[in-house]
Chain A
């Protein structure tokens, strides 16, 4: 139980870091107006999932966190190829260091929350002693 709690806590912190970076970009007026709005939505979603992870010990929190992080990384990838996304295109790990920090914490969050989800799944399926 202690390990599960720690995983959810670390996952929540990682989501908050990613969300905070996105909120900073929004408040800095970084990017086009539409993409900047998605940064604020990302921050809000990250905060909500982090709160859920802190309050509920079930599989939904980790899965929601994974969805937020995977969505963030997909958005990052789309913004760096072709015509970009929402009239916004970036190159490499710009803006620096925000882009690199985001990719690192979201990737780490996926790993941590995947382990937390597996643990929650096991706890659900195994009979209580």
Chain B
């Protein structure tokens, strides 16, 4: 029948590691994320508002929908620690490399149209750029 075990050295070492992990999990559960708060909000652009930059924060493109004029340049910046991409869904205009944290991707739009895009690693991350002539 089972019962209490008198710990030996290996159990003591693993037990200390378990205790450290337990404390770490409490810290992880209660802390505030670095990307949270007003410093890096993911905002939606107001209608008619000029957008020149899109941030990737918490697995979201912000703003998700942006309108620019032909000739405008948009810059995506990946704030997340995860690697993301800007990948056109049915267009080859938007095709970034893998963007590590703080990496940027820039595109100048030369033609009018609607360009939907996603992150190839996280297909539920979606965005749309409308380019007005």
Residues of A within 8 A of B (CB): 5, 9, 12-13, 16, 19-20, 23, 26-33, 36-37, 39-41, 43-44, 46-48, 50-51, 54-59, 83-84, 87-91, 94-95, 120, 123-124
User: B2 to A43, Cβ gap below 8 A?
Assistant: no
Residues from chain B with Cβ under 8 Å of A28 in the complex:
81
Residues from chain A with Cβ under 8 Å of B36 in the complex:
33
- Nearest-neighbour CB distance to chain A for B16, whole angstroms, equals 10
- Nearest-neighbour CB distance to chain B for A20, whole angstroms, equals 6
Residues from chain A with Cβ under 8 Å of B5 in the complex:
5, 54-57
Among the listed B21, B33, B58, B81, which residue makes an inter-chain contact with A19, where contact means beta carbons less than 8 Å apart? B21
Residues from chain B with Cβ under 8 Å of A26 in the complex:
28
Residues of B within 8 A of A (CB): 1-5, 7, 10-11, 14-15, 17-19, 21-22, 24-26, 28-29, 33-36, 58-59, 80-83, 120-124
Show 27 residue pairs from A and B whose CB-CB distance is below 8 angstroms, ordered by the A residue.
A12-B14, A16-B18, A23-B28, A29-B81, A30-B82, A32-B59, A33-B36, A37-B29, A43-B24, A43-B25, A44-B26, A44-B29, A47-B22, A48-B18, A48-B22, A51-B15, A51-B19, A54-B14, A57-B4, A57-B5, A84-B124, A88-B59, A89-B122, A90-B122, A94-B82, A94-B121, A120-B2
- Nearest-neighbour CB distance to chain B for A55, whole angstroms, equals 6
Residues from chain B with Cβ under 8 Å of A88 in the complex:
59
Residues from chain A with Cβ under 8 Å of B26 in the complex:
40, 44
User: A51 to B29, Cβ gap below 8 A?
Assistant: no
Instruction: Give complex CA distance A12, B26 in Å.
Output: 19
The secondary structure that dominates the B interface is loop
User: B82 to A16, Cβ gap below 8 A?
Assistant: no
Residues from chain A with Cβ under 8 Å of B29 in the complex:
37, 40-41, 44
Given contacts A23-B25, A30-B81, contact A57 B124 (CB under 8 A): no
Residues from chain B with Cβ under 8 Å of A90 in the complex:
121-122
Residues from chain B with Cβ under 8 Å of A19 in the complex:
21, 25
